[in-house]
Amino acid sequence: MLKKEIRILGFDDGPHDRNTDKTVPVVGVIYRGGNFIDGILRTDITVDGIDATEKISTLINSTRHKQQLKIVMFDGITLGGFNIVDMVQLHARTDLPMIAVNRKKPNIDNVKSALKKFPDFEARWRMVEHAGEIKSFLSEHGRIFYQAIGIDDEQAREAIEISTTHSAIPEPLRVAHLIATGIVKGESGGRA
């Protein structure tokens, strides 16, 4: 059983225009359960690049909050377009469990089709395959889809439920989305 005030770090990216933007901000919000913000982290990644895993692992390993962190969450496994988070590699580099959360079941066929446009398709596709099976459960806020590395299913679901207090997605992800959107647009908005 997880503590109600477990430290969860949630990441989301800001909006971007794939035709004009070279980089996009990625914001991490550290929450105690789903109630209190303990910290905010930020980095920039390349739109459709391959630097998300490296930049985020550096951010996590260098934060003063590292020793308190218990779980890292993402709003899906892609940031900045198709800059894929290698959840297995990130787990190995940080020694923290990884959970990717989605409101809707990801369409893997569409993802694969889009990735085929990249010269390094095979490497990117491997990251998608290694992110783990897409699972789901019915929470009090509706069906939630997730992938988890370094944590068992029961604890992954429990972490999602503990941190989902005000909407259909965990607070660390919801607030990271609001902050990242505010950085780009000057005000927050939209659904995470």
pLDDT digits (tens, 9 = 90+) for 115-141: 999 999 999 999 999 999 999 999 888
pLDDT of 78 above 80? yes
Pull the structure tokens for residue 164: 């989902």
Contact (CB, 8 A) for 47 and 21: yes
DSSP type of residue 136: E
DSSP type of residue 50: S
Residue 16 resides in a domain: yes
Residue 94 resides in a domain: yes
Residue 105 resides in a domain: yes
Contact (CB, 8 A) for 174 and 19: no
Angle at 170 between CA 169 and CA 175, to 5 degrees: 95
Residue 192 resides in a domain: no
Segments of the chain assigned E as strands: 7-13, 23-32, 36-46, 71-75, 78-79, 83-84, 98-102, 135-139, 142-149
CATH code assigned at 64: 3.30.2170.10
DSSP type of residue 111: H
pLDDT of 76 above 90? yes
Structure pTM?
Answer: 0.94
Residue 112 resides in a domain: yes
pLDDT of residue 131: 96
Pull the structure tokens for residue 177: 């989305």
> How far is residue 173 from each of residues 83, 126, 183, measured CA to CA in Å?
18, 25, 15
pLDDT of residue 166: 85
pLDDT of residue 191: 62
The total of structural domains in the chain comes to: 1
**Region 83-89: what's the mean pLDDT?**
98
Residue 2 resides in a domain: no
Beta-sheet strand order (sheet of 142-149): 36-46, 23-32, 7-13, 71-75, 98-102, 142-149, 135-139
Residue 128 resides in a domain: yes
What domain range is 48 assigned to? 7-185
For residue 186, what pLDDT band results from cuts at 50, 70 and 90?
confident
pLDDT of residue 192: 61
